[in-house]
């Protein structure tokens, strides 16, 4: 049984897997991590392996919170992976992006895959049918765009994401919603189209916190997987424990 801990830009996700079956997942703030680990260990005493991943460098303190008997893998650029990493600067590559590529290779083997993670940032990651991760792109996410419009201008308000009522915003709020949401949708559809010009049988996966908000509004055919990052981390842990 595996414990998965993913420390993101704003939240911490924890999950427990039995083999490749997701039993439970939690989403909380970093300050509650110690209590969350204790509760999960009490609920699932069969847990014996753990993987810890972070988009930043904050792994030392969370690792100290883990029970000593756990076989713990801290994901880093030197961790053995079930894919070939073709990124030119692997030390600068976010561990979350690697995990997503591993999830795609496991779930869609022998496919050219584009994984789009719509979270704090929007990341585009491509893994070839030959199991080789090549890289991708990074752009501001939904909330980042709303925040930037407010913090970098004099008069624009800070709004929460909302589906635009019309293409043409007839109020300032409406114009912001139209600009942000339709801008992101056009970006994602446009990026997918560019990849499809080069990879005709492309498999597209959408994941991340804003998946539900965006998925039904996209024109492109996609597979939506809300737990894809957790599944990728679990796959990496399996690969390193040979279980």
- Known catalytic residues are 96
117 annotated binding-site participant: yes
Tell whether residue 87 is among the known ligand binding residues.
yes
CB 50 within 8 A of CB 73: yes
d(CA 140, CA 15): 27
Q: Work out the number of other CB atoms within 10 angstroms of the CB of residue 60.
A: 10
Q: Which residues pair with 117 in a beta bridge?
A: 123, 207
**Is 27 annotated as belonging to a binding site?**
no
Residue 195, both tokens? 């990849």
Q: Is 174 labelled a binding residue?
A: no
42: Cβ–Cβ under 8 A, 6 or more apart, which residues? Answer: none
Question: Residue 127: is it exposed, middle or buried by C-beta count within 10 angstroms (0-12/13-18/19+)?
Answer: buried
Any idea what DSSP says for residue 76? -
Establish whether 13 is an annotated binding residue.
yes
Find the DSSP H helices in 77-227. Answer: 95-107, 142-151, 172-198, 211-215
Residue 180, annotated ligand binder?
A: no
* 8 annotated among ligand-binding-site residues: yes
11 is in an annotated binding site: yes
83: left (phi > 0), else alpha (psi -120 to 50), else beta? Answer: beta
State yes or no: 6 annotated in a binding site: yes
As a whole number of angstroms, the distance between CA 231 and CA 71 comes to: 18
> Is 94 annotated among the ligand-binding residues?
yes
Give the DSSP letter of residue 171. S
| 112 marked as part of a ligand binding site | no
Do the Cβ atoms of 219 and 90 come closer than 8 Å? no
43 annotated ligand-binding residue: no
Q: Specify binding-site residues for K(+).
A: 117
Q: Specify binding-site residues for ATP.
A: 6-13, 120
Q: Specify binding-site residues.
A: 6-13, 87, 94-97, 117, 120, 172
């Amino acid at each position: 049984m595996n414990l998965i801990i993913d420390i993101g830009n704003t939240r911490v996700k924890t999950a427990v897997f039995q083999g490749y079956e997701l039993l439970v997942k939690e989403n909380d703030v970093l300050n509650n991590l110690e209590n969350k680990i204790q509760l999960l260990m009490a609920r699932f005493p069969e847990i014996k392996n753990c993987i810890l991943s972070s988009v930043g460098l904050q792994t030392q303190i969370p690792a100290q919170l883990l029970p000593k008997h756990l076989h713990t893998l801290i994901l880093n650029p030197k961790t053995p992976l079930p894919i070939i990493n073709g990124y030119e600067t692997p030390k600068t590559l976010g561990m979350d992006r690697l995990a997503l590529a591993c999830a795609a290779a496991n779930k869609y083997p022998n496919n050219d895959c584009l994984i789009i993670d719509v979270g704090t940032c929007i990341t585009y990651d491509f893994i070839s049918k030959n199991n080789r991760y090549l890289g991708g792109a990074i752009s501001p996410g939904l909330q980042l765009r709303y925040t930037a419009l407010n913090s970098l201008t004099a008069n624009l308000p800070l709004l929460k994401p909302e589906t635009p009522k019309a293409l043409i915003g007839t109020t300032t709020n409406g114009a912001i919603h139209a600009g942000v949401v339709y801008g992101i949708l056009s970006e994602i559809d446009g990026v997918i189209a560019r990849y499809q010009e080069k990879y005709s049988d492309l498999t597209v996966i959408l994941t991340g916190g804003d998946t539900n908000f965006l998925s039904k509004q996209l024109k492109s055919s996609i597979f939506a997987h809300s737990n894809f990052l957790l599944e990728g981390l679990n796959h990496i842990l399996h690969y390193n424990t040979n279980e």
